[in-house]
Amino acid sequence: MNTKSIRFRLTLWYSTALIISIAVIFASFYYITQQELYRHTDIILISHAKQVAQEIKQQFEDGYISSRDSLLYNEFGVIPGMMLVITDKEGKILNSTYPNTTVEHEINGLFQQIKTETQEKVLNQSFPGSTQRTILIPLRKENELIGVVMMGHPIDVIQKSLNSLLTNLISLFALLVVPTIFGGLILAKRAMQPVNTISEQMQRITSENLKERVSSPQTHDEIETLVLTFNNLLTRLEAAFTRERQFIGDVAHELKTPLATQQSTIEVLLSKKRTNEDYQKAIADLLIDNKRLTDTVKDVLDLAWAETDKTQISTESTNLTELMEELYEITAQLAKSKGLEVVKRFEKNVNVYIPGKRDKIFRALLNIVDNAIKYTRLGTISLSLTSGNGTATIRVKDTGEGVSADDAPHLFDRFYRGKNSHRVGGTGLGLAIAYSIVTSCKGSITVKNNEGKGSTFIAIFPKTH
Ligand SMILES: Nc1ncnc2c1ncn2[C@@H]1O[C@H](COP(=O)(O)OP(=O)(O)O)[C@@H](O)[C@H]1O
Ligand SMILES: [Mg+2]
């Protein structure tokens, strides 16, 4: 099994958590039971032993210790099996319910533990034949140890019960571990099943079948959200792919026509001997086609350039006021040959800054101005720049023939040329380039149409400051 898989990790976390919980519960149960059993024994043992200790202390003070029989069974009511040992201040056994020699070693050990203490001590001590819950009471007179009373109650039964409880708990724990891990595995498998299913479906989707979609599990959970998000991504990718394919087709088409015309002109020219005028005319035709090819290739490259780093957030900022002044100068020059008037309406003494690269923004606006000059025969072209409310607005207004209602929705499409364009040269890419640049600067571009009386192109940019 892949130890990096989510399924493995889920199983591991789940099993570990469950096993630890079970272990803690079992251990607590064992501990509480043990404490409870000892507590009962201790209560009886302590109260009994203290009475005995008081009596013995008196006897020590009187200098007389009762004989074994009367002391142990008659005087203090010690029940059979219970232990009572009395030692002097050196640990020598004065009286014992065990034959002295058999327990000397243990008694000595206990004496060492209590001889320096002032308080009684309760512990488990094993003696030959049985384990005793033992209380050790030091007897002191004016801080001097005069003897020790040791009393014990057999706890073999309790220990046996505790041992059997422990064995049972451990067996039960071992029995639970395997089902816990298997349960974890099954749960993790079920949880990951939809992920495996959709990842199989995703694998089948390539650039060739972008139309396919991953089927939604209809579970209203995170997996369904993931599928929906992925399908949305596919829709966008499909649209982008179709657009790019269409574009390649359009480019090929645009290049094919002038190339074919050039070829036939050359073929006709070569078919027989021609006059000098024929050659000149043919070369002039070739030049026109050549120019068209060059323009198209240049615009295609410009479009590619406009689209580069579109997704990156530009950190550059452009002084739009300054740029518009320069644009105005160029427009005035270009318009001169056609006898068009160019006017500017810029806000005075304000410098407007927008995000984006200067040369790109300039190229976008130049394309709009170029159209205004191309599609206007008489009149005025006006450039305006206004700003306010976080945005800067540029208007390029002309008094040309305007855009027809049919053309208006498609003006910004690649290679789209309007009805009014047949008399003037162009590739149909100018506005597509402008659109691509303006949107990459988080701006927008629209056209306000006044068919027959001119058009106004409006570009709105967010300001940087
Ligand atoms: N100022 C304008 N006045 C009238 N029509 C315009 C104007 N600007 C653009 N158009 C129309 O939009 C079309 C697309 O413009 P554009 O992408 O620059 O291509 P091109 O200028 O090469 O034809 C043009 O063919 C034209 O029909
Ligand atoms: Mg143009």
Q: How many domains does the chain have?
A: 3
Residue 435 identity: Y
Shortest-distance ligand to the CA of residue 432:
1
**Is 98 within 8 Å of 80 (Cβ atoms)?**
no
The model's confidence at residue 100, banded by pLDDT at 50, 70 and 90, is low
Residue recorded with tokens 């000149």: 280
Query: Could you tell me if 116 and 227 lie in one domain?
Result: no
The predicted-structure confidence for 337-366, as pLDDT tens digits, reads as follows 999 999 999 988 788 999 999 999 999 999
Residue recorded with tokens 């009511």: 77
* Nearest to 308, CA basis, from 430, 414, 433, 431: 433
Q: Is residue 257 part of a domain?
A: yes
Mutate to test the pocket of ligand 1, among 296, 334, 375, 437 (most ligand atoms within 8 A of CB): 375
Q: Which atom of ligand 1 is nearest to the CA of 299?
A: 22
φ/ψ (deg, to 5) at 147: 175, 175
The predicted-structure confidence for 121-147, as pLDDT tens digits, reads as follows 999 998 888 889 999 999 998 888 999
The mean of the pLDDT values for the chain is 89
**Is 77 within 8 Å of 51 (Cβ atoms)?**
no
Output the CA 368–ligand 2 centroid distance in Å. Answer: 7
Its domain, for residue 75, covers 6-161
Query: Could you tell me if 339 and 288 lie in one domain?
Result: no
Residue recorded with tokens 């599928």: 227
Output the CA 311–ligand 2 centroid distance in Å. Answer: 25
**Is 197 within 8 Å of 179 (Cβ atoms)?**
no
* Nearest to 431, CA basis, from 446, 449, 411: 411
Output the CA 273–ligand 1 centroid distance in Å. Answer: 42
pLDDT at 4: 83
Query: Could you tell me if 362 and 434 lie in one domain?
Result: yes
| Residue located nearest, by CA, to atom 6 of ligand 1 | 403
Query: Could you tell me if 288 and 408 lie in one domain?
Result: no
Query: Could you tell me if 146 and 11 lie in one domain?
Result: yes
Query: Could you tell me if 269 and 389 lie in one domain?
Result: no
Output the CA 355–ligand 2 centroid distance in Å. Answer: 24
**Is 442 within 8 Å of 452 (Cβ atoms)?**
no
Query: Could you tell me if 332 and 455 lie in one domain?
Result: yes
Q: Which atom of ligand 1 is nearest to the CA of 398?
A: 1
Contacts with 434 (C-beta within 8 Å, 6 or more apart), sequence order: 363, 364, 365, 367, 368, 412, 445, 459
Shortest-distance ligand to the CA of residue 436:
1
Shortest-distance ligand to the CA of residue 404:
1
Global model pTM greater than 0.85 = no
Query: Could you tell me if 420 and 458 lie in one domain?
Result: yes
pLDDT at 24 over 90: yes
Query: Could you tell me if 328 and 302 lie in one domain?
Result: no
Output the CA 284–ligand 2 centroid distance in Å. Answer: 23
Question: How far is Cα 220 from Cα 226, in angstroms, rounded to an integer?
Answer: 10
**Is 310 within 8 Å of 343 (Cβ atoms)?**
no
The model's confidence at residue 208, banded by pLDDT at 50, 70 and 90, is confident
Mutate to test the pocket of ligand 1, among 382, 417, 446 (most ligand atoms within 8 A of CB): 417
Query: Could you tell me if 269 and 379 lie in one domain?
Result: no
The predicted-structure confidence for 223-280, as pLDDT tens digits, reads as follows 899 999 999 999 999 999 998 898 899 999 989 999 999 999 999 999 999 899 999 9
Output the CA 367–ligand 2 centroid distance in Å. Answer: 6
Work out the average pLDDT over 166-175.
Answer: 94
Q: Concatenated DSSP letters for 34-45?
A: HHHHHHHHHHHH
CATH number at residue 137: 3.30.450.20
